[in-house]
Amino acid sequence: MATAFDYKKEYKDLYQPKKGPGLIRVPAMQFVAVEGKGDPNAENGAYANAMALLYGISFTIKMSYLGAKKIEGYFPYVVPPLEGLWWMADGMPGIDYGRKSEFCWISMIRLPEFVDQPVFDWAKEELARKKKLDPTAAHLFHWEEGLCVQAMHTGPYDSEPSTVKGMVDYAGENGLQEEFVSGRYHHEIYLSDPRRTAPEKLKTIIRHPVKKA
C-alpha cells in the first residue's frame, strides 16, 4: 500500500498556520457534514450523535480498499481533522460562548476528491448495515469558504475570544471587516483530541470570513 496522503502536511497553509493572525483564501472542498443545534457538550446529544456519523462514514470510505468495493480513483489517505461551522440561533454575528444551548452548527470532515455522490451513498448504506446507525442526517457538502482571517488558538475552547479579538484587530489594520452572512460562519478546525489533551494544550484553527471594508 502506498504512503497515505495527509492533507494536513500537503496543505500547510490550511492546517498549519502561524500563531498570529493571517489572511488566506480557502478553495472549494467537499465534506461529510451533519447540521444540528444545541450545546456540543451535552451527553448523548445531537453533537455526539453527529460525531458517530462523521467518523463512521469517513473511515468506511478510507478502509474501503479492504473489502469488495473498488472506488475509482481511490488513494490511501489520512482522515482529515474534524471541523465545525458555528452561528447563533438568533442570528447574532459570530458566536456567544456563554450561550452554548443556542449554538447552531455544521460539523464536518473533509473528503478526498474521488468521493462522489454514489460513493457517499454507498458509505452511508455500509454504516447503516454494519453499525446499525441511521445515517440520514449526513450529507455530502460542497463548500468554498473564500477570503478569511485565520489564526492558531492554543488553550481551552472557552478562551477563544482572546484569539478572535486579535483576528478582528488584524482585519481592521488591513482594511478588512468580518462578513458573517449566509454560507459564511465562525469556523473551527480541531487539531487536538480533547479526550487525550490537556485543555491548555488544545490546538484549534479559527477562521473568520472577511471582505474589504
7-64 confidence digits (pLDDT tens)? 999 999 999 998 799 999 999 999 999 999 999 999 889 999 999 999 999 999 999 9
Q: Pick from 38, 41, 45, 46: which is nearest to 158 by CA? A: 41
For residue 145, is it within any domain?
yes
pLDDT tens string 108-127: 999 999 999 999 999 999 99
Q: How confident is the model at residue 145 (pLDDT cuts 50, 70, 90)?
A: very high
For residue 9, is it within any domain?
no
Please tell me the pTM assigned to this model.
0.96
Distance CA 44, CA 55 (A): 16
- Number of domains into which the chain is organized: 1
- Is a pLDDT exceeding 80 seen at residue 185? yes
H/E element, 154: strand 139-154
For residue 156, is it within any domain?
yes
Crossing angle of the two packed helices 117-131 and 46-62, in degrees rounded to 10: 110
For residue 85, is it within any domain?
yes
For residue 6, is it within any domain?
no
C-alpha cell at 29: 472542498
For residue 195, is it within any domain?
yes
- Is a pLDDT exceeding 70 seen at residue 1? no
H/E element, 173: helix 160-173
Query: In whole angstroms, what separates CA 75 from the centre of its chain?
Result: 22
For residue 139, is it within any domain?
yes
For residue 183, is it within any domain?
yes
User: What is the CATH classification number for the domain harbouring 167?
Assistant: 3.20.80.10
Range of the domain at 193: 15-212
